[in-house]
Structure formats: structure tokens, C-alpha cells
Chain A
């Protein structure tokens, strides 16, 4: 109980979610995130008044890392999303929007947190078990014998990042490049387990996007003078490389804890330099063509090597060293071009996301239907399931049928509003009553005559409006129906322009969103340390 450091007492607030300020800020955050969602999302320009470059983006990682959120409740939400993104790279905005929607909807119905949290958990487990089940109607198993599904997946990701400023043709080019870069990292002959290689993204800013390319191997930066000296290499023998991670600067290594007494006239520097030069002679006699050093090389050694026509590159750095030491493994360089800095940054993030998503898909070979169809389909499934057999939930929880229906409505409409956030141009949003997919219509549509003439394809592109379908507005209530489960194989095979989502990332993001919403709804006090 020492008072040596006088600490200020903390500020303690009860029931944080009831405060008007929290609701308002949550609403603003939701507005920012919703308006950025999807291929037609609006871009956000972030500029820091204290300096740094302006960032134009619509991606959650860039948005949230630049926004400074002060309220603890919002901080929970944003860190949760950021943590998810750092694990899966994808579905950040989906997580954030779903979480906001859930909080908002639950607050409207005014049930006790205990009931809400228990029921949310049940509904979530219904969702996850359905998505993982064999008869799931919105999941496609990936066929690795063709690139079609993987290419669709990459293209969906690139398309959903409008801040990359790509044309249709450029999107196709970049998507193909990303997929090729990924395929280059898969080793040809693996024994028991697959260890993926690396793809290094090399910036080439200010050039045409169409000039981007993929090269196998590693690119090292080298000065033009040096390059002129080596070129042209006219050797038919294999190219010999020596790689050093130790410093070749001639520093004295650690001499121990005791003292080292050097007699006058003895120059340790010369002794070390002698050793370095003898190393150089050894390298030359071994017919080494390229010497790479992670740290600094002594200028005399560099000079010596260059006079003997050995290329010496130092200060390679630890990041490249890891790749270099595995140079015999599968490594490729993705040379990425874009017009300006901000668009390039956005493109780089997109490429990284796509590469990561491909890795996740290799581990768990499934993809989900994108374009809002998974969300509406899932909502229809949950509604029907609860309406059909509510006993499973009611029997082990002390809650009433009304409470269950209220919460199911809140949960499902939260999912549907995420899908609805994809439409930014004032168009009508609908769902069909057979598959439970998501459809959008042009904004200036005349008073409805025939929906099938007005609509073309559903959000994911799997179904056309020419089928005998019935539509209903997403915002209106319609009787629960059982969406068709078990995706037919032929339907998937024929469609070649699907919008797809990463299965692992979406599943985890659904869980994280519900868990985070539950956590926020469960808060009864906030204790702010004011020190």
C-alpha cells in the first residue's frame, strides 16, 4: 500500500452500450465500413494531418490500421477484426459489418444479454455445422485438376478491391499472374508433407499494370555499373554462388569477459584483413561467380573480388537471406506494376491476400459462394430450421419461443444486411425463394412487371433469372422456406464466372464476428485507467 507513485483512480462506467455516444460512434464506424464493402464499394481517402502519404483504400486492414479508435468498445471490435485479418487476410469487412449489425439488431429487440448470448451461440453452431456439412448448398469442393475454381476465387478477390483501379482486362491479367505465382511455389516432388515455397513481390511503380509479370527465382537489386561489368555472362558451366551470413567487414569478434592485452606494434586489423583476403583467394580459386553477404563486406575484399571478376553483393538483409538460403527450393518473384504509389500499395495488399487465400484453400479444399449468396442462403436456412424444429434449442435453454424467434430474426437480418451492403447504387435487393440466393436489380427499374426480365444472374453467378423462380425483397418479411441444399455438380461445372469466397476465412470470420458481438453485448462495466 505504498503511495510512492500516486495513481489516479480509474473511471468506471456501467452499461456502456446504453450510452448514446457509443451508439453514435458505432453507427459512424458501421457507415464507414459498409460503404466500402464489395466490388462497387466507395473508396476512403485517409490522410494524416501530421504527415505521411495519403492512402486511398477500401480494405479493412488499411482502414482500421489508420483509423484511431478511442472508445474501448470500438477498440474491441476493431482489434478483433484486425486480428482476424492478420490470421486469414480476407473477410475483414464482413466480420466488422456482421458484428456491428448483430449488436445493432440485438439492441433493438431488448432481450437480456444472457438469453441473447446463449441463443447467438446456438445459431452460430447451426451455421457452422451446416457450412461444414456435406449437404451444404453454398459450398463447392475445389477440383485441383483444373484452375477454373481457383481462378474464380482469385478474380473475386481482385474484383472486390476497387481501390486497385484496375480495368476488366487488368483484373484478368493480375488474377492469372497471382495464380501462376502461387503454382510456382508448389514443389514438384514432395515426399510426405507439402512445404510451400515463397513468392516475393517486387515493386515496379509507375508502370502499366499489364507489364506485371512472374519470374521463377529471386531478383536482387544491383547497381547499373556493377551490372555492366558482369554482363554478358557467357558461361555454360553452372553458376557458382557463395552465401555468407556472417559479417565480412573485418570486425573483431567477441573477445570474452576478460581483458585482451595487445602488445604495441601488433595490428589486429591487419591480421583480420589478411584472413579476409585469404578467404577471397580461396573463393577465386574455387571459381565462385557470385558472393552474397547478408551483412557488410570489407571494401578491400570487395575490391579484390571485383578485380578477379567475381560479383560481390553485400547488405542483402535478413529478409532476403531466408529466401536465398532456400534458393534451390521453389521461389518466384512477382513483379507488380501499378500507376501510382497508393494504387500499388492496394494492389500489393490484394496480391498478398489472394496468395494467402490460395494457401488456405490448399489446406481446406472448399470455397463458398460469394456475392452475398452465402449470407442470404444461410439466413434462409436458419430461419427455416428454427421455424421447423425449435425444440432442439428450447429444451436445454430456459427461454421462450418468442425470445427465440425474435433473436433468430435479428441474427438472420444481420446476415442479410451484410449481403445488402454490397449494393451501393440504390438498386433493389432481392432473394429468390428456391435457392435463397442474393439478387440485385438496376436502380431505375420501372414498377415491377416481371422480375425475371429485369434480373440477370444472382450474386455469385450460379443461377440465371430464366429459371422458374420467385423473388422477394430482402427487407420485407416472407414466410420461411427451405432453401435447396446439396449443390448439383453440373451447375458448378458449367458456370465459369463465379464469385467465390475463401471457406476457411469466411467460416472463421463468421465465428469471430458472433463471438465479438457476444463479448461486447456482455459488457456490464468499463473501467478506464486514467494514469
Chain B
């Protein structure tokens, strides 16, 4: 059986997923209870976890879930926003081709042909999306958005220092989406305390993130049955097992780590031990005993008071340890061993081959070592003194039920992952046209008249843009003529671009983008007609401008004649012609944040709309518009329950007004969120959407899969 793999199907799928995840988004989000076949009950608000638990069957849904989980592996955040954004993008895209179908395809064409035609269209859109992601997004981020970024580092000194209050607001915003709404502030305070307690010096915070991220299981203890407020931080390391031998000791405690059995055995691997008599057997046993005794005695002479072993030691070793006042902890996991090695710099002790006296150099000191009991389960509590930038601490997480403990554990772990990402620079690569650089300052002032339009009108601008191409045929033809005539004139393109939006008349509500473009062309020509003296610019710029006018006209012309089908070659041509593009490398510096509650989305929405207004290619405009409008879906959901002044329309208008008048945006929330993770989320969603749009048919195969590595059978096109 085959089903059309169209955006429509994807939209249906995404809407179902959206319905589930959107109830958990933001500070007002609620909890979801997941039961496992084993009877375990999990409480979660984590998008990744919920999507995983759903076990979705629909192949497109599964692809979406796979995309989300691969995004989560990278960043540890943003699964819910992923789904919501994807859903809005699909909705936006879905709104466009309906109109086109009506106007371009005659009703007597068979349905399957229509389908194939649709697929071609989706393919173009997906290519446009890919281009947007690789070229436009980075540019907008680096060029426009970057001036709004805040930093978690206090920048007074040259050396960056982490600002505690920024970290608290960052974490609080993160936990708002992760844990029950009663516990955000408590958990974020706990995490913040934990982080600052673990960090020996400012410069070592990356290492702390790394260690905590890698060894989170070893560094956390869950206790079910206590109120959440009993959660706390304990100094030192807690091993999830009990002492085999415990000898109370005071003062500094010397420890050794062994990874092999101390008691010698009769034969080692690969060797053969031949027993010839009973006495030989008895003497061998005596020797083994004496040797074990000697080693343990020797450890005692070296003041060793605790023996950590990754393997099970024999009763004999435990017996002598007890006699010599050495506590023993056995069966440490390999993770625990490597954590100890890393945090304390303790390497395993190698057993001597000869029984000569020697100094044991691989020891470390501890402040204390004692048993710890939580809910009648016994743990070993070791007061390690950290030797690297990480001072060992453990976090004890309490909750009435295990499911909630797990939720808090996962949230803390995710937060460390998020912070680890935040502290890395993220590179942006984009191309900018030489001419564009000049006009970056001007668009801000020119936009005012158009931007003040409320949101719904933006939708109307975006959707009918394809249909009007046909209508304006006549006008375009004349425009073209004009342009041909004046194509050799030296005209600086910047000025044209800067001024045209201004001169666009404030049209009727049916004012569409395509007509705007037409008018702009007319205006352009008119400007040339008037031959105003814009000649101060250098010649290089001017020629660029000249070619660009040509491209845009050609583009329009082709659209008019052949429709969608032959667009691609034109686009290639235009790419080739962009000779004056310069590669620009920028980055989102480590620690960049923005206030939560949709600030990032609104900013990007605003700059994308401006960008869309300026660019000539209809596809690019359309893609930018769709993305810009889809971005608003997130703040809309976040403000869903807010009333009055905090409701979404109010907030949106306020934000736009602030942007237009170059005032700082005022956010009602104090939380912060990482810009880099938002950016990564955006690119991941666009990649996922591109993937979805390239599929035209989903073929359902009812057969056992032949090979394990043949994993892509569901995605077959």
C-alpha cells in the first residue's frame, strides 16, 4: 500500500504530536504520565521522552521523532519547540499551494498527475529551504540579531566571569519547561548551588560541565518517598554500594584503587599449575595466605585506610583488611573508577611482583569516609579532595515517587548539556553582497510604515503571492521594456533598494507581495527616468546593481511564461552571477542569551520579514515569510494562558514598536535562554522539513526486514 508522502500527511502527523507536546511547553506546561510495559510509571514534560514513549507508527511521524532525537543528542533541549515550529511551518506551506492548484492546474488533469506535479513543487520549496538555511539564516543571525544578544558573562573585566544571577535566570527558564511548576525555582537554585560548589575556579567551568555531563549517573542519588524540598547537595562522592569492610577512621584518610584481585590464585590465565602432592597443595595455600597477609600489612604500613576495588576480592583479603583497619569497597563500576581517576587523579595501584618493600605512590587523601543511609539503602560516602577544577559533590534528589526523581535527574542532566553547549562558540558562515553591507543601517528607518501593520495582514501578503503573477502580466511586460532600455545605465542599486519600500503606496488590504514587486520595478525605472544624481558610489557597486536588476526581471519573466517547472536553471544562473559575494565568517559567541518568552522568535520574525521584503526571488521571499510567520507560533503558545497586557497580541505589538523605534525590548519574564541552542533548533527543524518535503510517496512493506543495516526502508522514495 502506498500513501502520498505529501506535506499534508506530514501536517496531520505533526498536528497530532503538537497537541500532545504543546500542553507541556513553557512555565505553564503540565505533566504527562507515561507507563511502561514493565509497570514503571514515568512522569515527564520532556518532549524527547514523550515522543519516544508514544511509539508512533506512522512512517513520517517516526522520521520526525528520529530527527528530534538526533537534535536532542546534540543539544539536549528543544524537542517540544521543534514539533511546534515544524507544525507551524507545515501549516504555512500547506496554505500556499492550494491557491496555486486552483489557478494553474485545470480540473481535468488526472489526480495522480496533480500529485506528481505537487511533488515537484515541494521539491523546489525544500531546495529553497535548504538555501535559506545555509545562506540567509546565518546572515540574519550574524547581522541583525546579534546586536540584541545578552551574555551570561559579566563583561567588566577582560577575563570572562560567569554571572551567578544570569545563570539562575538561565536555569530557571530551562527548568520551567522541564519540571513540575512548583519546583522550577527550587531545582534551578539547587543546580546553581551544585555548579558553584563543584567549580574550583572560573576558568574550569567547561571541565565541570564535561565531568558532570559524562558522569551524571554516578554523581546523583535518587530517593523516593521524601518531599522534593528535601533534595540537597552533599560534599564528596557517594558510591551506590555498601562497604564490604568498614573500619571507622578519623582525620585524613589515605586511599588506594585496585583493579585486580589482591589474593594470588593458583594459576593465571593461559598457565597450568601441576599439583603433585597433597602437601604441595597445602604449602601453596599457605603461601597464598601469607602473601595476601603481607600485601595487606604493607598497605597498612603505608597508612592506607580505604581500599577501593573494581573487582570482587576474596574473603581472605576482606579478613586481613578488617584486621589492619582498612575499609574496603568492592565492585566499583568502570564509570566510578574513571570518575575517581579523573576527579582525584588517582591511578590504580599495581600489585608488586616481588614481596620487597616499596613505596606506594598511587594514593590519594580524603577528608572522610563513612556510610550513608537513604531510605534504608546503604551508600558509601567519600570526602574526596578534588585535584582538578572539579570539586566532587553529589546531588541527592528526593521526590514522593520514583518517576518524579527520574524527571528531575533528566532535567538536571539536560541542563548541564545545555550549559555545555552554551559555553561553546558557534560559527556562522554566510555570504554577503558587498552592496548589502552598506545599507545595513538604513533599512531600520525605512521599515516603519509597513511594519506597524498587525499580524493578520502579513498572512495575506504571503499566501496569494503566486497567483498574482499571472494577473500582472501586462504591467510586467512594460516594466521589462523599461529595464531593458536602461540596463546599461550606471545606477547604484543600494539607493534604489533603500528608497523603494518607502515609496510603495500604502495599499488596500489585498495588497500582495507580487504587486509590491511590480510596483517596485516601476518605481525603479521611474527613478532612473528621473536620472537623479546618485553617482558618488564606486563603479564596482554600480555594476552589481545593474546585473541584479536584470536577474530579477528575468526571473519574473520566466515565472510568467513557464510557471514553476523551469525555475531552477534561472536560479543557478543568478547564483553564478553573484560574483561580488564575499564570504563572511561570524559566530555566536559563547554565553549568548536572550530573554525567554519568544524574544528570539519575534526578533527573527521581524528581521526575516524585512529581509523578505528586500529580496527579489519569489521563492526566497516566500520561504522567508513562511518561516517568519511560523516562528510566531512559539510565543503564541507561551502566552496562551496570559490575559490582558501579557497576551500575545499586546506583547507582539509592544515588541515590534520597540524594534521600530530602536528601543530595547522589554520582556515580562526574567528568564534567559541560549541563543545557540535556539539557532541549532531552527536549523534542525529546517533540515527535518526539507527531508519531509523531498518524500513523495510512502510505501508500506509488509515483510520482515532482511538485514539489520537496511534501516531506511521506510523512507524509500
A contacts, CB < 8 Å to B? 1-4, 7-10, 12, 14, 16, 72-73, 75-76, 79-80, 82-88, 112-114, 117-118, 121, 245-246, 253-263, 266-268, 270-271, 274-275, 508, 511-512, 515-516, 518-519, 522-531
A87: nearest chain-B partner, CB-CB: B225
- Whether B266 pairs with A80 at a CB distance below 8 angstroms is no
Expressed in whole angstroms, the Cα–Cα distance for A519 and B314 within the complex equals: 48
Residues of B contacting A508 with CB < 8 Å? Answer: 226-227, 230
- Whether A524 pairs with B32 at a CB distance below 8 angstroms is yes
Expressed in whole angstroms, the Cα–Cα distance for A76 and B41 within the complex equals: 7
Expressed in whole angstroms, the Cα–Cα distance for A218 and B321 within the complex equals: 27
In the complex, B66 has a CB within 8 A of chain A: yes
- Whether B36 pairs with A529 at a CB distance below 8 angstroms is yes
Selected from A113, A260, A511, the residue in CB contact (under 8 A) with B30 is: A113
Contact status of A261 and B272, CB under 8 A, knowing A508-B227, A523-B33: yes
- Whether B43 pairs with A260 at a CB distance below 8 angstroms is no
- Whether A524 pairs with B55 at a CB distance below 8 angstroms is no
Selected from B20, B37, B53, B276, the residue in CB contact (under 8 A) with A266 is: B276
Q: B377 to nearest A CB, angstroms?
A: 10
In the complex, B229 has a CB within 8 A of chain A: yes
- Whether A529 pairs with B35 at a CB distance below 8 angstroms is yes
- Whether B265 pairs with A256 at a CB distance below 8 angstroms is yes
Selected from B33, B274, B715, the residue in CB contact (under 8 A) with A73 is: B33
Partner-contacting stretch, out of B395-403, B411-419, B504-512, B577-585: B395-403
Contact status of A523 and B271, CB under 8 A, knowing A1-B711, A9-B54, A84-B400: no
Residues of A contacting B181 with CB < 8 Å? Answer: 114, 117-118, 522
In the complex, B488 has a CB within 8 A of chain A: no
- Whether B30 pairs with A527 at a CB distance below 8 angstroms is no
- Whether B402 pairs with A79 at a CB distance below 8 angstroms is yes
Residues facing A in B260-287 (CB within 8 A) are: 265-279, 281-282, 285
Contact status of A524 and B23, CB under 8 A, knowing A9-B54, A9-B57, A114-B181: yes
Residues of A contacting B662 with CB < 8 Å? Answer: none
Residues of B contacting A266 with CB < 8 Å? Answer: 275-278, 281
Selected from B34, B270, B273, the residue in CB contact (under 8 A) with A527 is: B34
- Whether B400 pairs with A531 at a CB distance below 8 angstroms is no
Q: A270 to nearest B CB, angstroms?
A: 6
Expressed in whole angstroms, the Cα–Cα distance for A117 and B268 within the complex equals: 63
Expressed in whole angstroms, the Cα–Cα distance for A482 and B53 within the complex equals: 50
How many A-B contacts if CB must be within 8 Å?
Answer: 207
Selected from B56, B278, B282, B641, the residue in CB contact (under 8 A) with A267 is: B278
Contacts A266-B276, A529-B55 known; list 5 others, CB within 8 Å: A83-B401, A266-B277, A271-B278, A516-B401, A524-B24
- Whether A529 pairs with B41 at a CB distance below 8 angstroms is no
Expressed in whole angstroms, the Cα–Cα distance for A423 and B282 within the complex equals: 74
In the complex, B705 has a CB within 8 A of chain A: yes
Residues of A contacting B54 with CB < 8 Å? Answer: 9-10, 12, 527
Residues of B contacting A525 with CB < 8 Å? Answer: 20, 23, 32-33
Residues of A contacting B266 with CB < 8 Å? Answer: 255-256, 258, 260
Contact status of A1 and B278, CB under 8 A, knowing A245-B315, A526-B33: no
20 intermolecular pairs with C-beta atoms under 8 Å apart: A1-B714, A1-B715, A3-B714, A16-B33, A76-B401, A83-B224, A84-B400, A87-B225, A112-B641, A256-B266, A257-B265, A258-B271, A268-B281, A274-B278, A274-B282, A275-B282, A516-B400, A523-B31, A524-B23, A529-B34
Residues of A contacting B56 with CB < 8 Å? Answer: 9
B268: nearest chain-A partner, CB-CB: A258
Q: A192 to nearest B CB, angstroms?
A: 10
Residues of A contacting B282 with CB < 8 Å? Answer: 271, 274-275
Closest 9 CB pairs between A and B? Answer: A256-B265, A258-B267, A83-B225, A511-B227, A257-B269, A524-B30, A87-B225, A80-B400, A271-B278
Expressed in whole angstroms, the Cα–Cα distance for A14 and B50 within the complex equals: 13
Query: Which label, helix, strand, loop or mixed, suits the secondary structure of the B interface?
Result: mixed
- Whether A260 pairs with B35 at a CB distance below 8 angstroms is no
B contacts, CB < 8 Å to A? 20, 23-24, 28, 30-37, 41, 43, 50, 53-57, 62-63, 66, 180-182, 223-230, 265-279, 281-282, 285, 314-315, 319, 375-376, 399-404, 641, 705, 708, 711-715
- Whether B705 pairs with A2 at a CB distance below 8 angstroms is yes
Expressed in whole angstroms, the Cα–Cα distance for A88 and B275 within the complex equals: 57
Expressed in whole angstroms, the Cα–Cα distance for A62 and B55 within the complex equals: 36
Residues of A contacting B182 with CB < 8 Å? Answer: 117-118, 121, 515, 518
- Whether A529 pairs with B275 at a CB distance below 8 angstroms is no
Contact status of A83 and B30, CB under 8 A, knowing A512-B227, A529-B55: no
Residues of A contacting B403 with CB < 8 Å? Answer: 76
- Whether A8 pairs with B55 at a CB distance below 8 angstroms is yes
Residues of A contacting B41 with CB < 8 Å? Answer: 72, 75-76, 79
- Whether A1 pairs with B400 at a CB distance below 8 angstroms is no
Expressed in whole angstroms, the Cα–Cα distance for A258 and B270 within the complex equals: 5
Q: A122 to nearest B CB, angstroms?
A: 10
Expressed in whole angstroms, the Cα–Cα distance for A192 and B91 within the complex equals: 70
- Whether A260 pairs with B375 at a CB distance below 8 angstroms is no
Residues of A contacting B641 with CB < 8 Å? Answer: 112, 114
Expressed in whole angstroms, the Cα–Cα distance for A488 and B223 within the complex equals: 38
Selected from A113, A246, A519, the residue in CB contact (under 8 A) with B315 is: A246
Residues of A contacting B37 with CB < 8 Å? Answer: 529-531
Selected from A7, A80, A268, the residue in CB contact (under 8 A) with B278 is: A268
A192: nearest chain-B partner, CB-CB: B250
Q: A227 to nearest B CB, angstroms?
A: 30
Selected from B31, B228, B278, the residue in CB contact (under 8 A) with A524 is: B31
Expressed in whole angstroms, the Cα–Cα distance for A4 and B714 within the complex equals: 12
A253: nearest chain-B partner, CB-CB: B314
Q: A517 to nearest B CB, angstroms?
A: 10
Residues of B contacting A2 with CB < 8 Å? Answer: 705, 708, 711
Indicate the member of B66, B266, B279 with the most A CB atoms within 10 Å.
B266
Expressed in whole angstroms, the Cα–Cα distance for A50 and B435 within the complex equals: 84
Contact status of A3 and B33, CB under 8 A, knowing A9-B56, A266-B281: no
Residues of B contacting A8 with CB < 8 Å? Answer: 55
Expressed in whole angstroms, the Cα–Cα distance for A266 and B53 within the complex equals: 62
Contact status of A10 and B273, CB under 8 A, knowing A79-B401, A531-B37: no
Expressed in whole angstroms, the Cα–Cα distance for A523 and B56 within the complex equals: 21
- Whether A72 pairs with B33 at a CB distance below 8 angstroms is yes
Q: B38 to nearest A CB, angstroms?
A: 9
Residues of B contacting A16 with CB < 8 Å? Answer: 33
Residues of B contacting A84 with CB < 8 Å? Answer: 225, 400
Selected from B35, B229, B274, B314, the residue in CB contact (under 8 A) with A528 is: B35
Residues of B contacting A530 with CB < 8 Å? Answer: 37
Indicate the member of B23, B225, B271, B705 with the most A CB atoms within 10 Å.
B225
- Whether A259 pairs with B267 at a CB distance below 8 angstroms is yes
Residues of B contacting A83 with CB < 8 Å? Answer: 224-225, 375, 400-402
Expressed in whole angstroms, the Cα–Cα distance for A254 and B315 within the complex equals: 11
Q: A70 to nearest B CB, angstroms?
A: 10
- Whether B267 pairs with A257 at a CB distance below 8 angstroms is yes
Residues of B contacting A10 with CB < 8 Å? Answer: 34, 53-55
Selected from B227, B230, B272, the residue in CB contact (under 8 A) with A259 is: B272
Expressed in whole angstroms, the Cα–Cα distance for A508 and B32 within the complex equals: 25
Selected from A72, A73, A258, the residue in CB contact (under 8 A) with B269 is: A258
Expressed in whole angstroms, the Cα–Cα distance for A84 and B401 within the complex equals: 9
- Whether B708 pairs with A522 at a CB distance below 8 angstroms is no
- Whether B43 pairs with A519 at a CB distance below 8 angstroms is yes
Indicate the member of B35, B41, B404, B714 with the most A CB atoms within 10 Å.
B35
Q: A107 to nearest B CB, angstroms?
A: 15
Q: A519 to nearest B CB, angstroms?
A: 6
Residues of A contacting B270 with CB < 8 Å? Answer: 257-258
Expressed in whole angstroms, the Cα–Cα distance for A72 and B403 within the complex equals: 12
Expressed in whole angstroms, the Cα–Cα distance for A470 and B58 within the complex equals: 68
- Whether B401 pairs with A80 at a CB distance below 8 angstroms is yes
Expressed in whole angstroms, the Cα–Cα distance for A1 and B714 within the complex equals: 8
Residues of B contacting A522 with CB < 8 Å? Answer: 30-31, 180-181
Selected from B35, B225, B279, B708, the residue in CB contact (under 8 A) with A512 is: B225
Selected from A4, A254, A527, the residue in CB contact (under 8 A) with B314 is: A254
